[in-house]
Structure 1
Amino acid sequence: MSKQENNEDMITLIDENGNEQLFKELFTFDSDDYGKSYIFIYPAEQENDDSVDIQAYIIADNEDNDGQDLVPIEDDKEWDMVEEVLNTFLDNDGNFKA
């Protein structure tokens, strides 16, 4: 998926059909073990909801070197690591600890 920055914490994702959806950045982190950067995002329209659908992606430079792409995490061990990082920021009820 292509990533376009709107402002520092808003991201527009464009899917393979050209549909755009606005997301808010929750946080990013780097993994020394995998040598990659990751981002957690959620749909902007859920910002004031009691719960949000958090998505995680690998941040990768795109082939044209004119921006970044968000790449799905496909490796199970890598996904477990990303999920563990997210869980350190969630309380027992699954709420984000700011």
Structure 2
Amino acid sequence: MVDKQQPENEDERQITLVDEDGNEELYEILFTFDSEDYGKSYVLLYPASAAEDEEVDIQAFSYKTGDKGDPAEGDLYPIESDKEWDMVEEVLNTFLADDEQA
């Protein structure tokens, strides 16, 4: 079972990622979801600087929430297994298909 959630507060919609060179980039949270199969929470992000009609690379991470249950306050972890990536891609494809129908 997957429970998709979208942040309600505008401040909770953004995360700053720092690359290995120390460069910071602001990302918007597309949505979060929990996976009972993996016992983890996931967040999908896209660059905040992207234009509305621009094609973007979506970043996905598992996360542990901060004290408030907010992914922006917690730690992000890379997704390492192919099976886990397949599950995340399936959820993303379902989200995008649902969004196009709305």
Query: The TM-score by the shorter chain falls in which range?
Result: 0.7 to 0.9
Query: 1-side partners of 2:51 and 2:59: how far apart?
Result: 14
Question: In the alignment, which of 40, 46, 49 is matched to residue 45 of structure 1?
Answer: 49
Return the TM-score normalized by structure 1.
0.75
- CA-based RMSD: 2.3
Query: 2-side partners of 1:77 and 1:21: how far apart?
Result: 28
Counterpart residue type for residue 80 of structure 2: E
Counterpart position of 1:59:
63
How many angstroms does 1:27 deviate by? 0.1
Counterpart position of 2:7:
none
Unaligned runs of 5+ in 1: 1-5
4+ residue segments displaced more than 3 Å: 95-98
More helix by share: 2
How many angstroms does 1:61 deviate by? 5.5
Unaligned runs of 5+ in 2: 1-9, 67-72
Question: In the alignment, which of 70, 92, 102 is matched to residue 86 of structure 1?
Answer: 92
More strand by share: 1
Change (3 A) 1:14 1:44: same
Alignment length (residue pairs)? 86
